Amino acid sequence: MDELDKAIHMYKQVLEIDEKNELACSQLLWLFMKTKLYEEALIYSEKSIEINPNNYNVYNNLGYVYFGMDDLEKAIECWEKSL
pLDDT in tens, 9-48: 999 999 999 999 999 999 999 999 999 999 999 999 999 9
pTM of the full structure: 0.89
Confidence tier at 80 by pLDDT (50, 70, 90)? very high
Stated length of the chain: 83
What class, spelled out in words, does domain 3-81 have in CATH? mainly alpha
Residue type, 57: N
Mean pLDDT of 58-71: 97
Is the distance from CB of 61 to CB of 33 less than 8 angstroms?
Answer: yes
Delimit the domains of the chain by residue range.
Answer: 3-81
CA distance 38 to 54: 22
Confidence tier at 49 by pLDDT (50, 70, 90)? very high
